[in-house]
Copies of this chain bind each other. A is one copy, B any other.
């Protein structure tokens, strides 16, 4: 736990809504859909960004965004996080005021959208900051148990679709599971929760339903997690960055199937399956 935990609101809002639709037979079907709304982030009264979010974990999302964008250096600097859905705003107040890095804020001008820019300007710098533990080990049995736990996890996605989920796990145990309309929001919220609870990533596993693009790999590595597991596929740049930062990247993980793309030395296979050992 951080020495000084910020005062935070707990302002989750309605996450799903029921709307009427017609199916292919012309029948009325009540259908659940995911919430989505704007949330404007203010840091010491300065407007930083407007996030389109489900709104399940707005305080953690704001903190994780500030953490991953390197706009605030430590959780101890933050005095308060207040979400107000009336004004669709989250106000983050620091203890001593932050020196706004105009160059860093300015860089974001040339970055926007889904796969449209983002943090590329700082990419090489980010990669060099990241140091992942070499000696972390994941056994195949733990990985399979985790995938089974993820499969049975009660998610909004199963009800409403149109959401991505991210989880942080210790062994097969899911510590956090966050869903949002954007993959990046979900990973940012996990980063915020880890910050709030003073949790290190070095012995954890990061799971995502989303694709492993460049930005997802960097964001998972930024919080120091050596294992990255996705239900989906990956891109070449995600793969290249995973190699550079030395993350163990496992993709297309569904049911009992998965593919290990990088960092295979951290995966421990049992020397002989039980059914072979005892025929």
Q: A52-B120, A260-B21 are in contact. Are A115 and B180 (CB under 8 A)?
A: yes
Smallest CB separation, A238 vs chain B (Å) = 7
Q: Is A234 an interface residue (CB 8 A)?
A: yes
A112 and B233 within 8 A (CB): no
Task: Flag A213-224 by CB within 8 Å of B: 1 or 0 each.
Answer: 111000000000
Query: Complex: how many Å from CA A38 to CA B48?
Result: 24
Interface residue? A87 (CB, 8 A): no
For A185, the chain B residues whose CB sits under 8 A away are: 113-116
Q: Which chain B residue lies CB-closest to A14?
A: B236
CB neighbours of A31 from chain B (8 A): 259, 261
Q: Is the CB–CB distance between A121 and B50 below 8 Å?
A: yes
Smallest Cβ distance from A34 to chain B, in angstroms?
5
Closest approach, in angstroms, between the C-beta of A191 and any C-beta of chain B?
13
* Contact call B160/A213, Cβ cutoff below 8 A: no
Stretch at the interface among A77-85, A131-139, A250-258: A250-258
B239 to A33, Cβ gap below 8 A?
yes
| Contact flags A225-269 to B (C-beta < 8 A → 1, else 0) | 000000011111111000000000001100011111100100001
CB of A9, distance to nearest CB on chain B (Å): 21
Smallest CB gap from A34: residue in B: B235
Q: Which residue of B lies closest to A106 (CB)?
A: B109
Q: In chain A, residues 25-39, which have Cβ atoms closer than 8 Å to a Cβ of chain B?
A: 26, 29, 31, 33-38
Residues of chain B within 8 A (CB-CB) of A23 are: 257-260
Q: List which A9-49 residues lie within 8 A (CB) of chain B.
A: 17, 19, 21-24, 26, 29, 31, 33-38, 40, 47-49
Interface residues of A in 160-189 (CB under 8 A from B): 160-162, 180-185
What is the interface size of chain A, counting residues whose CB is below 8 A from a CB of the partner?
A: 73
Question: Is A93 at the interface (CB under 8 A from chain B)?
Answer: no
Q: Measured between alpha carbons, how far is A272 from B52 in the docked complex, in Å?
A: 43
A236 B117 Cβ-Cβ under 8 A = no
Q: Which residue of B lies closest to A185 (CB)?
A: B115
Q: Which residues of B contact A199 (CB under 8 A)?
A: none
Residue contact A22 to B52, C-beta cutoff 8 Å:
no
Question: B110 to A48, Cβ gap below 8 A?
Answer: yes
Beyond known contacts A112-B112, A114-B215, A162-B212: 16 more, CB 8 A cutoff? A19-B239, A22-B264, A23-B259, A33-B235, A34-B233, A36-B236, A50-B111, A51-B115, A105-B109, A112-B118, A114-B114, A114-B183, A116-B182, A161-B211, A162-B213, A162-B233
Q: Which 7 A-B pairs have the closest CB atoms?
A: A115-B182, A161-B233, A36-B235, A114-B114, A162-B233, A36-B237, A21-B259
